[in-house]
């Protein structure tokens, strides 16, 4: 596989001839249509060995080179937010590239009850693809992550017991393989109670054969302050749990100033700390699968940035006839454009280059694997880059 950066004036036909592949192979690997205008600075995946991807059809008798045995084995999780037709279709397409699927999410109420999910169809498709489902639990209410719910759960023994019993009954009923707990904005004073809760979960779920994992804020040190960070004790999570997912994204968040969503330099800083307190074979690196569009000038407290797929970001750059740039420090692509109302925009997104850089980090640190936030997504490049980077571990 090659990753080609489009130069001014290049065409699909010329690139196909240069790399000795067909136009259709480039189109399929990058989710293009034959009529798409290439954007200067755009990254294109150029298939070499197998001459096909999961997004086109394999002809009978077509030869392919299978070399996955030489790739490092890694576990791959994906959170899924759309459990309807779009999500089901996505899992059917990419299930072979996943170890785990985490439908997002079961939500705990302050009395320990759960707000459930209509997840049976997604779980059935996952099992057909030999994907192990994880039950995702959050402290989200109608307004987002709720610190008060977390506080009640962690400090009320009877409510916590109801909660744990509900988790066990749901896991058993739905056939989940384990639990992934994503408690965010936990009150700082509750960090020890959160650790105690994790011990309880492990003591109840491990004897039943279920794994327990957590999602952790991207900390840079053990002393990092802030509501998002304090209660996430990397050392204890690494000691107690089967694995952790580091949420190494959202530096460029929708309510903040424009910047890379998952800058490589910051991801590396998180890993440099994490590997000192968490075993390497328990660390999953979060991978963002989306783009952000900020209207300039940025005004704190103003309208949030739009969030959409990396594929749409490319289409937007083509529509406004702008060039894509690549920031070397963050290893992330971005561009600016002026809309019909004369407003300047700045867009940061992920492409094959930025994803490859993060996969290289995972291999370089010899970590357990990766976790995508979030499916479904229009970003076919990521699967091609993954298939050329890792051999996916299957547990089913």
Q: What DSSP letter does each residue of 326-362 carry, written as one string?
A: EETTTTEEEEEEE-TTS-EEEEE---HHHHHHHHHHH
> By C-alpha distance, which of 167, 157, 168 is closest to 108?
167
Q: State which H helix or E strand residue 371 sits in.
A: strand 369-375
Q: Which residue has the higher pLDDT, 235 or 49?
A: 235
> In the block, which residue shows the tokens 């065409």?
11
Q: What is the DSSP letter of 302?
A: S
72-289+352-392 shares the fold of 2-46: no
Marked catalytic residue, from 10, 69, 184, 396: 184
Q: What gap in Å lies between CA 136 and CA 29, rounded to an integer?
A: 31
Instruction: Calculate what percentage of the chain has a pLDDT beyond 70.
Output: 94
Residue 396 has pLDDT above 80, yes or no: no
Q: Over range 78-90, report the average pLDDT.
A: 97
CATH number of 2-46: 3.10.350.10
The residues spanned by each domain of the chain are 2-46, 72-289+352-392, 295-345
> By C-alpha distance, which of 374, 334, 381, 375 is closest to 359?
381
Q: Over range 82-94, report the average pLDDT.
A: 97
125-162 pLDDT, tens digit per residue, is 999 999 999 999 999 999 999 999 999 999 999 999 99
Q: Which two tokens stand for residue 20?
A: 């000795």
Q: Which residues contact 393 (CB under 8 A, 6 or more apart)?
A: 73, 74, 75, 76, 99, 369
45-76 pLDDT, tens digit per residue, is 999 855 444 544 433 333 344 456 799 999 99
Instruction: Mark whether 10 is an active-site residue.
Output: no
Burial of 118 (0-12, 13-18, 19+ CB in 10 A): exposed
CB 217 within 8 A of CB 247: yes
Give the three-class secondary structure for 24: helix
* pLDDT for residue 48: 81
Residue 128: beta bridge partners?
Answer: none
Fold of 72-289+352-392: TIM Barrel (3.20.20)
Looking at domain 295-345, which CATH architecture does it have? Answer: Roll (3.10)
* pLDDT for residue 68: 63
Residue 33 has pLDDT above 90, yes or no: no
């Amino acid at each position: 596989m090659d990753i080609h950066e489009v130069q001014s004036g290049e065409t699909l036909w010329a690139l196909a001839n240069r790399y000795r592949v067909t136009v259709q192979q480039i189109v399929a690997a990058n989710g293009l249509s034959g009529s798409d205008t290439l954007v200067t600075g755009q990254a294109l995946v150029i298939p070499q060995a197998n001459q096909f991807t999961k997004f086109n059809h394999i002809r009978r008798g077509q030869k392919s080179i299978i070399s996955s045995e030489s790739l490092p084995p890694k576990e791959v999780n994906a959170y899924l937010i759309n459990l309807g037709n779009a999500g089901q279709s996505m899992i059917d397409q990419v299930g072979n590239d996943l170890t785990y699927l985490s439908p997002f999410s079961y939500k705990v109420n302050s009395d320990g009850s759960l707000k459930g999910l209509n997840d049976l169809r997604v779980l059935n498709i996952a099992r057909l693809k030999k994907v192990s489902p994880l039950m995702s639990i959050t402290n989200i209410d109608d307004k987002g992550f709720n610190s008060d719910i977390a506080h009640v759960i962690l400090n009320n023994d009877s409510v916590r017991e109801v909660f744990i019993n509900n988790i066990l009954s749901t896991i058993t009923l739905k056939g989940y393989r384990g639990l992934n707990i994503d408690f965010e904005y936990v009150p700082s004073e509750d960090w020890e109670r959160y650790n105690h809760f994790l011990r309880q979960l492990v003591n109840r779920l491990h004897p039943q054969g279920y794994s327990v994992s957590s999602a952790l804020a991207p900390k840079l040190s053990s002393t990092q302050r802030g509501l998002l960070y304090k209660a996430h004790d990397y050392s204890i999570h690494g000691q107690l749990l089967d694995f952790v997912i580091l949420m190494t994204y959202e530096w460029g968040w929708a309510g903040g100033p424009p910047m890379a969503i998952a800058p490589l330099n910051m991801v590396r800083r998180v890993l440099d700390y994490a590997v000192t307190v968490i075993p390497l074979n328990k660390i999953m690196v979060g991978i963002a699968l989306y783009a952000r569009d900020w209207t300039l000038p940025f005004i704190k407290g103003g309208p949030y940035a739009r969030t959409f797929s990396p594929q749409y970001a490319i289409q937007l750059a083509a529509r406004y006839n702008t060039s894509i740039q690549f920031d070397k420090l963050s290893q992330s692509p971005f561009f600016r454009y002026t809309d019909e109302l004369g407003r300047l925009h700045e867009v940061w997104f992920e492409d094959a280059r930025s994803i490859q850089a993060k996969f290289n980090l995972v291999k370089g640190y010899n970590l357990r694997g990766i976790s995508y936030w979030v499916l479904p997504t229009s970003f076919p490049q990521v699967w091609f880059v993954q298939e050329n980077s890792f051999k996916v571990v299957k547990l089913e």
